[in-house]
Structure 1
Amino acid sequence: MGSMDLRAESRQTQTLSPRLQHAVRLLQMSSLDFAAMVRDKMGQNPFLEPEEGEDGEAATDSGEADTAAEGAPSEAEAADVTSIDPGDDREIWQGEGPGGTRRAEDGEISALDMMAVETTLNMHLHEQLNVLPLEPRDRALAQAIVESLDDDGYLRTPLDEVAEVLNLEPPPSPTELSIALKRVQSLDPAGVAARSVAECLQLQLSKIDCAASRALAERIVSRHLHTLAAKDVNGLAHQLGETPARIEEVCDRIRRLDPRPGWRFGSSQVAYVVPDVLVKRVRGQWSVQLNPAVVPRVRFNHVYAELFQRHRSTHNGEMAGHLQDARWTLRNVEQRFSTILDVAQAIVRRQRHFLEYGPMAMKPLVLREIADEVGIHESTVSRVTNNKYMATPIGVFELKYFFSRAMISANGSACSATAIRGLIKDIIEAERPERPLSDAEITRQLAQQGLVVARRTVTKYRQMLRIESVERRRRHS
């Protein structure tokens, strides 16, 4: 019978402290997310403040004036507030607020009040429903359908589930739901509240003036949508008994319809890629520098720190935590961007031929090579290159773009996958339009140049380049 005993043994293991784990997560952040985190820190930590620019005003990472704490009133606003008579609330309620009208110093309406409010798809549809003479029950059903639409303008939710949200008594019948759906589908933009791409296009066929073309388009959309997507004009002509020229004319009219009517509404803001590193050639040498626009302009408030150290006691432990967190945040900012710059410089040194001659000159590169050169771990390089971008004279690239595995050619030399993709693109661009090359023919041409690549690899690279197959290129030509 086995015995039970207690033993004490010591072993060494590597663990990451919570603070180090947090630092790793910060390193993996994009620069925009990191800058937002630093702004939040400045709003919460009294020992952090925006760094003043050359003009003496506090500047954020975008170079514009910003307050250390979001929502904090300026000195001018504070003076206005203190000058209001506490016994008169009218001036307070008529002051600047979220719903009030902002006026400039001369009494004119502020420019912010002149900006147009963005109209969402739901707002646009509700405005049309509000002017229709509908019964409250019918209006509620139509509004419920509008609220169930996705960003594309489609109704992905079954009608019975839409009815369950309303809890109407008696429950709406299938006929009522169908009528409410037709009513919403009749609104602008055409094609809204469709349940499939075919239905969305069918709702827009009324825009085709010619009755014969409209009837032919109806047959194509309802029965041969996949053939239309494949651009098989000859196949459609054979199936419908029409000439290819006639089919091409109607298909061209169908392609002018909008398969996503909801995209016309909503936010008009475009998310742009902000490069973290700027690369340019100066006197024959490649220069790498950080983009000042993504580096948070934050500094340590020494005045507050000295006052705190002078009057420190055991009762203000929270302020001591803020002081330690401020120093740790500044170290993170410095180390983060120093690591990004070191990694970017190492990448440029190894891929300078790519910057000079294009993708064909891209060298094979793995994370370990950069890690050994910079003196950091491979996982750190992986986090640094995640969601970080480099602006070069030939375009903006993610740092991960410069890494690719090596492929050995027939003569024993190494070639990167990026270079092979560039060669495949050049081969396809040089092909004759009336006789496009298949993936097998491209594979043979690569083999003639000493690059042994499998056909399925050529297919994968062609799809990565977003180049259509040989059949579609032949039909298009």
Structure 2
Amino acid sequence: MKQGLSLRVSQHLALTPQLQQSIRLLQLSTLELSQEVEQMLDENPFLEQSEDSAAREDFGLDQVDSPVSQEAQEFESVAEFTPSHDSTSSSQSTSENSNDNDSTPEISSEAKLEESWDGDGTVETSADDGEWGGDAQPRKNNGDDSDADASDLARSHESLQDHLHRQALSLRLSEEDRAALYFLIESLNDDGYLEDSLSSLAAGLAGAEPEQLEDREDLEQHFTIALKLLQHMEPAGVGARHLAECLSLQLLECESSQAVSAAKAICRQPMELLAKRDIKRLVHLCGFPDAVIRAAIALIARLDPKPGRRFINVERNLIVPDVLVTKVAKGFKVALNSDVMPRLRVHDIYANALKQHKGQGGPALTQRLQEARWFIKNIQQRFDTILRVSTAIVERQKNFFTHGELAMRPLVLREIADELGLHESTISRVTTAKYMSTPFGTFELKYFFGSALGTETGGNASSTAVRALIKQFVSSESLKKPLSDNQISEMLKEQGIECARRTVAKYREALRIAPASLRKALT
């Protein structure tokens, strides 16, 4: 076998560390990005927060609106199918695939990664619930908080446990009963239910051994007394073990009437009958006339099946938009929300010290400085991409921002990707967990994308607009004769939109609208 040397030229793709970081930052939500920034500030001494907006690093971001090169699009395409584990293994696997096709000398992937982080070698820094229960109205608290800001409500939040403990202070109890009441209050879930039985709670405290039986029985007696006290606290229905008991506790506070008596009788029956509104069986089992049973079901529908949910911290539901859209004289202005943009910069003192003592800090410090610069650049690039995508969405959905969701037009990710010269997977990352504030409310960017439904004129209608139209039909329907899915389908056809009954049912369920049989008025 004759041996010889040969030179071959080949191309292969490798995900550099900075590209992996850019992709990962792009798909993070606002909260996740904030956590990532905090972690990087703790780990990298060359990175610090600034009160002012960080100056752009000289990485070509001034040309952010220019089309993306073919190589970058290939990188994005590869990233869509590459797992986000160790970058070394990703580069090695890519190199091995390339070697299978070409007899190219193997090049160390670790050397490539080190070279990519080193950049140009400089260390200089740049310039500075169900339909019936979900609508139940909670009791009004003292004071009018209608003008309170959401963030103020979050800071002044009182949990369900705090609310109940405050009531317990006015009760005269023995130390054992007070301790039992405290334990039950702390055992409630977010909805105000006591999920565990008293016997299981007592066994958990006293132990399950036979010789501890007397202690368990004593604890269970104290829990029984404490439970009765808990179930008479505000809000009504708290401390219930199941839905029927929760509703019954709330009915105890209602003025005595035939409807209230019938409602209590209904709560003693299987809840499936109430959910299905099986009037005939309830009349037979409860022994009340048809009209009284209907009035009782209407009364139950006004109760709160989850009395503890009003105490859930409002901060959990607080959404801070990434993009702000406001109406101006010539259209709409799209701007980034400065409150969610991290203000970062390279630490001047440390960077200058490293520059003056070049070569003494070692390659590790030089690499950390380069990482800090790349992190700032990737943060800036993330928000630039979000702004570009948001601007393109607003441009294509102008009718929505003028007339509302009924005017939404069909839009798919590929349209925005082709317009901006980005990969479709990049658009998907940008539109996930990113929110836009509009004159009609705050929406996730994915909300503005919808499939197309055919029309009689040969055009297309957005699925989002169709859902809005279905919601409008249902809101204006007769409560005595609610619209069936088939009737809604026919009404859409009258509007020129081809939408099958099954599609209507799917959209109705997505909108959390009950079937016609459950929307029908009882009286």
Q: TM-score range by the shorter chain?
A: 0.7 to 0.9
Deviation track 1:406-432 (CA, whole Å, cap 9, x = no partner) reads 222244322221122233233334444
SS in 2 for 1:157: coil
Where does residue 171 of structure 1 map in the other structure? 212
Shift of 1:270: 5.7
- Note if 1:407 corresponds to 2:406: no
State the Cα distance separating 1:399 from its structure 2 match: 0.7
Separation of aligned partners in 1, 2:227 and 2:438: 48
Q: Does 1:182 align with 2:228?
A: no
**Structure 1 equivalent of residue 161 of structure 2:** 121
Within the alignment, does 1:132 sit opposite 2:173 as a pair? Answer: yes
C-alpha displacement at 1:165, in angstroms? 3.4
- In the alignment, which residue of structure 2 is the partner of 1:35? 34
Quote how far apart the aligned CAs of 1:374 are.
1.0
CA 1:399 to 1:310, structure 2 compared with 1: closer, same or farther past 3 Å?
same
Shift of 1:375: 1.3
Cα pair distance change 1:268/1:415, threshold 3 Å? closer
Provide the identity percentage: 42
- Once the two structures are superposed, the pairs formed by residues 302-313 of structure 1 within 5 Å of their partners are 302-313=348-359
1:327 aligns with 2:412: no
Aligned to 2:429: 383
The answer to whether 1:285 aligns with 2:331 is: yes
- For 1:272, the equivalent position in structure 2 comes to 318
* Partner of residue 512 from structure 2, selected from 454, 458, 466: 466
**Change in 2 beyond 3 A, CA 1:165/1:14:** farther
Gaps of 5+ in 1: 1-8, 55-114
CA gap of 1:116–1:331, structure 2 versus 1, over 3 A, is closer
Partners of 1:203 and 1:48 lie apart in 2 by: 57
The one-character-per-residue Cα deviations of 1:338-372 (angstroms, maximum 9, x if unpaired) are 00011111111211122223333322211111111
Q: Which amino acid aligns with 1:121?
A: Q
Higher RCO (CA 8 Å, separation ≥ 6 residues): 2
For residue 207 of structure 1, give the secondary structure of its aligned residue in structure 2: coil
Match of 2:201 in 1: 162
1:445 alignment partner in structure 2? 491
Distance in 2 (alpha carbons) for counterparts of 1:264 and 1:395: 22
Rounded to whole Å, the distance in 2 between the matches of 1:429 and 1:127 is 41
CA distance in 2, matches of 1:22, 1:131: 60
**CA distance 1:122–1:183, change in 2 (3 Å):** farther
How many positions carry a matched residue from both structures? 407
Determine the C-alpha separation between the residues in 2 that align with 1:320 and 1:388. 34
> What residue number does 1:46 align with?
45
Contact 2:434/2:445 (<8 A) preserved: yes
The worse-fitting range, judged by mean Cα deviation, of 9-18 and 413-422 is: 9-18
Q: Distance in 1 between matches of 2:417 and 2:481?
A: 47
SS in 2 for 1:376: coil
Name the CA shift for 1:420/1:271 in 2 (closer, same or farther; >3 Å): closer
> In structure 1, how many angstroms separate the alpha carbons of the residues matched to 2:203 and 2:288?
47
Q: Tell me the equivalent position of 2:398.
A: 352
Q: Deviations over 1:203-229 (max 9, x none)?
A: 444323428665433311110533434
Structure 2 unaligned blocks of 5 or more: 1-7, 54-154
